[in-house]
Amino acid sequence: MRRDLPTGALVVGVGGALLVLVGLVAVLSRYSMFAPQEFGWFAYAASGGGDGPLLYVVTARDLWGVVALTTGLTAVAAATGYALGLRRTGGPSPSAAD
């Protein structure tokens, strides 16, 4: 007997997967060849031997990318947990509506 996944769980899972994709693009765009490498007073700093610690400037894009990634992973985990729990228990019982 086949049990279908409720539409709400499917929407949450797909939406979470899209958020993960958008978050990954936003976070990893820093490493794109089109991303600005230096700006502001960092552009005028003397070129050292690269021995010092790296300084990363966190931008708003990085922050919302991490938030989208975290929210998406949480949504995918919730939808997966719901689907596995529904499969394990055999679905909602008819008497649960009473």
What pLDDT sits at residue 5? 74
Question: Is-above-0.85 flag for pTM?
Answer: no
Query: Exposure string (b/e) for 50-89, b if CB count within 10 Å is 16 or more?
Result: eeeeeeeeeeeeeeebeebbeebeebbeebeebbeebeee
pLDDT in tens, 34-90: 666 555 555 555 565 555 556 667 888 889 999 999 999 999 999 999 888 887 776
pLDDT tens digit sequence for 10-25: 899 999 999 999 999 9
Q: Which of the 8 DSSP states describes residue 44?
A: G
Count of CB atoms within 10 A of residue 19's CB?
20
User: What's the pLDDT band for 27 if we cut at 50, 70, 90?
Assistant: confident
**Residue 1 — pLDDT band, cuts 50, 70, 90?**
very low
| Beta carbons within 8 Å of 79's beta carbon, 6+ residues apart | 9, 10, 12, 13, 16
pLDDT for 91: 61
